[in-house]
Chains A and B, each alone.
Chain A
Amino acid sequence: MLLIPCPWCGERDEVEFSYGGQAGVAYPLDPEALSDEEWAEWLFVRDNPKGRFVERWVHTQGCRRWFDLVRDTVTHEIAR
């Protein structure tokens, strides 16, 4: 069970949150300029590191705001 620090509400149980995957994946500035390969890369491919991961969470059952979290995918330790 993760104890997740919401930047606005403080530490809360994991069940209050929903997961959003890799952080910092911006929508393409000019989608129509992308090739099919580039579009597939943006749409379907995400980093999947073993170790430090910057990821998105949303406090679904709290303030409902999104935030970034740095978590280790091996130890589950959350950087504070």
Chain B
Amino acid sequence: MTGEHPDFLWRSPEPKSSYEVVIVGGGGHGLATAYYLAREHGITDVAVLERGWLAGGNITRNTTVIRSNYLWDESAGIYEHSLKLWEGLEEELGYDLLFSQRGVLNLAHSLQDVRESARRVNANRLNGIDAEWLEPDAVAEICPILNVSPDIRYPVLGATLQPRGGIARHENVAWGYARAADALGVDLIQGCEVAGIELQGGRAVAVDTSRGRIAAGRIALVAAGHSSVLAGLAGLRLPVQSHPLQALVSELYEQVLDTVVMSNAVHVYVSQAHKGELVMGAGIDSYNSYAQRGSFHVIEHQLAAALELFPLFAHARVLRTWAGIVDVCPDASPIVGLTPVEGLLVNCGWGTGGFKATPGSGSTFAWTIAHGEPHPLNVPFSLDRFTTGALIDEHGAAAVAH
């Protein structure tokens, strides 16, 4: 992108009294859904309602890791679809996302890890996803500052590599989608909290908001950690629990890490942003919370893991820590599709892995909204899998704990 950055990337219209589609939640997935509804399906009578400001939630609170090296076919399908969209997204949106395919390493620290990694690499390849197994010396070549010596508590026994994985600048992703959706006629309405969902004869027909009643042909909830609260307005209980997921950045340093390193066993994932911060994250806090903050011991544990793997980081200082509220399903896989309430759709449960899925989630969910039936890639992620038992258990399978 060249030239001066514009003062405004989108309009701030007053909400109309009625839309064909109302999307509740102005985060990455909601904005992407709106964009693909307008772009792919010609549905432009769309409002995105955001309680706070656009991209104030998880889309700007994640650690920006992008990959598709999931074990199960269903997950591989949607995450690889997403990664393919990432690969053309800057051109499509005409907006710089600092998308960098610098490769993602998933470290193995035990014999079990090694076997699981080999299985995952093979599964990935069968699904057409780039994946390699690397011995420790090859890992050290890619990431020289990683401690691969055998005398640490959990030595690095090797790693999987997805070369096409990487990072992107997350707020640009939200702004890029917002700008493009706005240009196609979508109304992005901030400071608009949904306080009620109006049902008529069992069908969701309108939302009651802090800016008045808005009727809708279809209502799509894309609210991550607040999905349970919103679904509850329509009398719907979701198999979702909200937890804090913390992350941190260091002060700015010269570039020392040009790939993404993830370790499930000692549990930390780290990359270095273009600006120079080391960006780290780990697992969720155990307890339910809507607080966007977590407990310090979670930070302490991930830093201990990071220091053992990267002795150089002992010199680094933490600049900021924060949390987002992630919505976790019992099988650590998302729910994308229709609900028992007619006219009401839901896209939630992305848990700790939603950022990478933003394009794929938005594009398939838009298809699902437009067609009134699940996109083929969404079928396995329907709400009824909890009744049929066809869970997609990515807890331990997804290369890092979800």
- Name A's B-contacting residues (CB within 8 A): 1-2, 14-15, 18-19, 21, 36-37, 40-41, 43-50, 53, 55, 71, 73-76
Contacts and interface: CB of A to CB of B under 8 A. Distances in A.
Contact of B290 (A41, A45, A46, A73): A73
B288 A44 contact: no
B295 A53 contact: no
B292 to A, nearest CB: 10
A50 B295 contact: no
Contacts of A48: 228-229, 238, 240-242, 288
A21 B229 CA distance: 17
A46 B290 CA distance: 15
Interface string B364-401: 00000000000000000000001110000000000000
B303 to A, nearest CB: 15
Nearest to A39: B387
Contact of B287 (A40, A45, A47, A55): A55
Given A1-B296, A2-B295, A48-B241, A40 B387 contact: yes
B297 interface: yes
A71 B239 CA distance: 21
Contacts of B237: 41, 45, 47
A21 B241 contact: yes
Contacts of B289: 73-74, 76
A21 B288 contact: yes
A18 B296 CA distance: 16
B98 to A, nearest CB: 34
Given A36-B387, A40-B386, A44-B330, A74 B290 contact: yes
B46 to A, nearest CB: 27
Contacts of A75: 291
Interface of B: 226, 228-229, 237-242, 286-291, 295-297, 330, 386-388
Given A40-B386, A53-B288, A76-B289, A15 B239 contact: no
Nearest to B295: A1
A37 B297 contact: no
B235 to A, nearest CB: 13
Nearest to B241: A48
B290 A50 contact: yes
Contacts of A76: 289, 291
A19 B287 contact: yes
A40 B390 CA distance: 12
A46 B328 CA distance: 12
B286 A2 contact: no
B297 A46 contact: no
B297 A1 contact: yes
Nearest to A19: B286
Given A41-B237, A48-B238, A73-B290, 9 more contacts: A18-B286, A40-B386, A44-B330, A46-B241, A48-B288, A50-B228, A50-B290, A53-B288, A74-B290
B384 to A, nearest CB: 9
Contacts of A71: 287
Contacts of A74: 289-291
A49 B225 CA distance: 11
B133 to A, nearest CB: 34
Nearest to B383: A40
A71 B287 CA distance: 10
A55 to B, nearest CB: 7
Given A21-B241, A50-B229, A73-B242, A44 B386 contact: yes
